[in-house]
Every structure is written in structure tokens, then in C-alpha cells.
Copies of this chain bind each other. A is one copy, B any other.
Amino acid sequence: MSGQLKNKNVPRATIQRLATYVQVLETFARDGVEVISSNPLAVACGVNGSQVRKDLAYFGEFGVRGVGYNVASLISSITGALGVDREWRMALVGVGNLGRAILNHGDFRARGFNIVGIFDCDPFKIGEIMHGLEVRCTDDLKEHVIHDNIEIGIITTPPERAQRAALHMVEAGLTSILNFAPARINVPDHVHVEYVDFFRHLYTLAFDQSHGHEEVSLE
């Protein structure tokens, strides 16, 4: 069993599938499954077995031929190889309903993704305590990013404030942004933005529903 990354050029789609594998493996672990082979894992993830084996091959040899993968070891090997099995300190900008929900989302903390600073530009919110954290003025983001070793910024503002929040993050030196606001943001090339876009999913469902669920080809 090895958790070393053999090749740094892992396709983004592979990393995304690995996140799904971890989620599914955690479900199996919760159900008491100790060993699993690639085919049932693939079925549960909605991909095929050869895809699972190919994705895992980026990280060396997992599993024992004819026996399968040890569930607990595979989870720690994948998260270790991805380099995500440590604490990630995050700042959240925008403490409306969605921001509060993210703040209360126990699964983030359980996987090491800790929100350690919360920010807003609304003077009525600044100073309020939420989930043990004091809401700070977004203008003070840079100071806190440096002081608290923050590496990831989360935007949960309304769409019209998302760009301003992103600029604050870039100025603060953050290079990784998770954007929940339904707006695209412009940042320098060295900054990586991931969009959690509810409408992409709703439009896809609505389109399929409108057009009778015929097979839609995958690009």
C-alpha cells in the first residue's frame, strides 16, 4: 500500500472523483464494510471499475489483487496522497444565511477544513459572535490571514458583493477561493477559484425534466 503521488499532473477530474471516492468509502466505513473491490466502489460512485483503478494508479499501488481495498487505509491513502489530510485554515466573507450554514456545517471541520475567521462589511454584524467567532470588518482580512495562517477564502456574500470580497482576498495574499455567491469573479491568474454553483445543477435538472429525460451526451 502506497500513498505517494507518482505524478504531479493529476487531471482535475481525477481529483474530483477522488473526493467522491473518499465520501463513498466513508459511507461504507459507517456501514461496517472493511474491504471493498473496485467494482462495487465504482458502482456506488457512478463510474466504471477501470476508471477507479486508473484514478488510484496515480498514487501507486493500492489494494491486493483478488482481495480488494481496505476501506480505512484507502481513505487515509487518498487524502494523504492528495495532501488534504491536515488542517486547512479558512476565512469566510459574508455572514448571511448561507455563510452561517457553512459555518455550522460540521463536515467541514470533521475533514480538517476549519473556518477560523469570519468577515462582513455590514457594521451591524461586525462584533457579533457566531459559532465562537467574532465577525470582523472585511477591511481587516489581510491582517487576520497573515496572523492566523489562513490559506483558503470562502465567499458567501450576495452576488453584487462577491467581486469586492475576492479583491480583499487577493490583497490579503490568498490564492485559493471557494465562491458560493452566484456571480463570476475576476482574479489574477495565480489565484484559483472554485465555484459552488447551485444553478448549474438546477438548470441541468430543469432542462432534463423539460426535454423528457432523453439521454444527454456527456462531453
Contacts and interface: CB of A to CB of B under 8 A. Distances in A.
A219 interface: yes
A165 interface: no
Interface stretch (A101-109, A116-124, A132-140, A141-149): A101-109
Nearest to A209: B176
Contacts of A160: 30
A211 to B, nearest CB: 6
Contact of A175 (B20, B24, B213): B213
A176 B8 CA distance: 37
Interface residues of A, number: 76
A219 B19 contact: no
A158 B98 CA distance: 16
Contacts of A97: 100-101, 104-105
Interface string A1-36: 000010011111111101110111011001000000
17 contacts: A8-B214, A10-B207, A11-B216, A15-B207, A19-B199, A22-B199, A23-B159, A23-B182, A45-B184, A82-B206, A82-B207, A83-B206, A83-B210, A83-B211, A84-B206, A101-B101, A152-B202
